[in-house]
Amino acid sequence: MIAGILFLLVVFACFPGASIWSSAIAHRGPDVQNLQGTIDSGGEQVEVVAADGTPIGPGLRGAYMLGADSNGRDLMVRILYGGRTSLTVGILSALLCTLFALLLALPAGYFGGKTDSVISSTLDLIWSFPVYLLAVALSASLVVNEINIGWIHIGSSSLLIPIVVIAVVFVPYLARPIRAEVMALRDREFVQAAAAHGAGATRIMVREILPNVFATTLVLFTLIVAGNILVEAALSFLGVGVPVLTPSWGNIIQQGYTTIVTAPWQTIAPGLAIMFTAITLNVFGDGLRDALDPQAEVRGIEMR
């Protein structure tokens, strides 16, 4: 419960909080540079970016509470706006991943046979690739080959690239446990009763089985969001994730790692934001699992 509240605080800080901070307190946006400006620090004028290129560090110096980056941009503002991007990519990719997983897991688990064999082989193929290697390959391919489908544009400047890529690489992590649960449910009495009353396969999967795998899907969804945020940060750090001009936690780390010795706050601050968000989501997911399925831990102990 506490972890869920903490995550909601992160969401609030990054969405309405970012606008409030940048307009009412910082008086600047995430891309406003202040290379030659100064701020008052205890009655003394301090340069935002020193002559040797070192930006001002964290402290109670006006709006620069977390310091500035090498371009004189307010790091607090960039982290808040970057959180918008990272959370958007993490949540939307998790939703898309969950949709793909359900579309594959339900028929695979219900029909079995050749249907299960084909779908399981596809999942195994995706599973066999290292997550980051597959994500980098897909991202690079989409950046080089821009796609236009009606009003949908997937190109080098689109957030759809990391959203689609991260959704695809994590599909097996959701689909396999959901498939196993569907296989356990298809022989239950309520499913057999629905089939005996003439219900079709689609109706049985949607009306009978899907509500019974909702708890598992919800728990996996929260865990996947945390993983997606980490993958987005890694892809952005490697230059194949969120577009460079769009602030995200991964981009901020990528832009600050070259000065990690002289200005470590540029990488530490967004790194702590990623770590805090991932931990709260994982703890919330564990608590949600215990609340929705109190016997899950007992079954796990018995299986061991």
Q: Are 92 and 163 in contact (CB under 8 A)?
A: yes
What pTM was computed for the model? Answer: 0.86
DSSP reduced 3-state for 221: helix
Q: Within a domain: residue 181?
A: yes
Q: Within a domain: residue 120?
A: yes
Q: Within a domain: residue 98?
A: yes
Tally of domains within the chain:
1
Q: Within a domain: residue 48?
A: no
Q: Within a domain: residue 50?
A: no
Provide the residue count of the chain.
Answer: 304
| Amino acid type, 191 | V
Residue 115 is part of a domain; what is its CATH number?
1.10.3720.10
Q: Within a domain: residue 261?
A: yes
Query: Which burial class, exposed, middle or buried, applies to 24 when counting CB atoms under 10 A from its CB (0-12, 13-18, 19+)?
Result: exposed
Q: Within a domain: residue 221?
A: yes
What domain range is 184 assigned to?
A: 83-266
Q: Within a domain: residue 295?
A: no
- Print pLDDT tens along the chain (304 aa): 788 899 999 998 888 776 776 666 666 778 888 777 777 666 677 787 887 778 888 875 556 788 888 888 888 889 999 999 999 999 999 999 999 999 999 999 999 999 999 999 999 998 888 888 888 888 777 665 555 544 444 555 578 888 888 999 999 999 999 999 999 999 899 999 998 888 899 999 999 999 999 989 999 999 999 999 999 999 888 888 888 888 899 999 998 888 888 889 999 999 999 999 999 999 998 888 888 765 554 334 333 3
Query: Which burial class, exposed, middle or buried, applies to 251 when counting CB atoms under 10 A from its CB (0-12, 13-18, 19+)?
Result: buried
Closest CA to 270 of 230, 221, 212, 225: 230
CA dihedral 7, 12, 17, 18 (to 10 degrees): 70
What are 37-48's pLDDT values in tens digits?
A: 777 666 677 787
What are 131-176's pLDDT values in tens digits?
A: 888 888 887 776 655 555 444 445 555 788 888 889 999 999 999 9
